[in-house]
Amino acid sequence: MGYWTSDGCHLLFQTHAVGLRVELSGEIATAQARRASWTRLAEEVGRTGAAAVLAVDLRGQALEPTEPARTQALLGSMDIAALLSVPLAYVGPWARLPGGEALNQVLIERGLHVQAFDDEAAAERWLRYGEHGRVARPGDHFSTKARSNT
């Protein structure tokens, strides 16, 4: 679907059953690279009209902890409106980072419907059936909302 690179950060965009799948690789070590990657992701969601985002971080253990206040300031300086209307599942080391839960909370407070996972299959299930504010699709008998009616 598309490949984007800037300042050593690489994003590969692909269509996926849940919406948009993006693979992150390279380094996102600077505020400029982080800003550019979030902005590009928001642009791609807006362009494609994706119903959900599955972000798979291929960087392994190379991810450095980010202070929640820095992330809050960074997100506050960007236009990520397209990301506010879709659930975003992140698969990668963020789920295991010291302070990862605080970072997740900052993203939620900014208005994102986000959840971090160690396992891609679990992330896909959350996007399809999870409690993130999406309305269950007609015929979606496995969703949490549909199960609660039985």
In the prediction, which pLDDT does 34 show? 78
Q: Does the pLDDT value for residue 112 go beyond 80?
A: yes
Q: Does the pLDDT value for residue 125 go beyond 90?
A: yes
**At 142, is the pLDDT very low, low, confident or very high (cuts 50, 70, 90)?**
very low
Do the Cβ atoms of 122 and 88 come closer than 8 Å? no
d(CA 56, CA 90): 6
For 62-84, how does the pLDDT look when each residue is reduced to its tens digit (9 = 90+)? Answer: 455 566 676 667 666 677 788 88
d(CA 39, CA 145): 32
| Mean pLDDT of the 113-139 span | 75
For 11-39, how does the pLDDT look when each residue is reduced to its tens digit (9 = 90+)? Answer: 999 999 989 999 988 877 677 777 888 88
Q: Give the rounded distance of the alpha carbon of 123 from its chain centre.
A: 10
In the prediction, which pLDDT does 122 show? 93
| C-alpha distance from residue 6 to each of 16, 30, 70, 120, 134 (Å) | 24, 11, 20, 25, 32
Which tokens sit at 52?
Answer: 């959900």
pTM, entire model: 0.74
| Mean pLDDT of the 85-93 span | 88
26: left (phi over 0), alpha (psi -120 to 50) or beta: left
Domains of the chain with CATH codes: 2-147 (3.30.750.24)
Does residue 45 or residue 137 have the better pLDDT?
Answer: 45
In the prediction, which pLDDT does 61 show? 57
**At 54, is the pLDDT very low, low, confident or very high (cuts 50, 70, 90)?**
very high
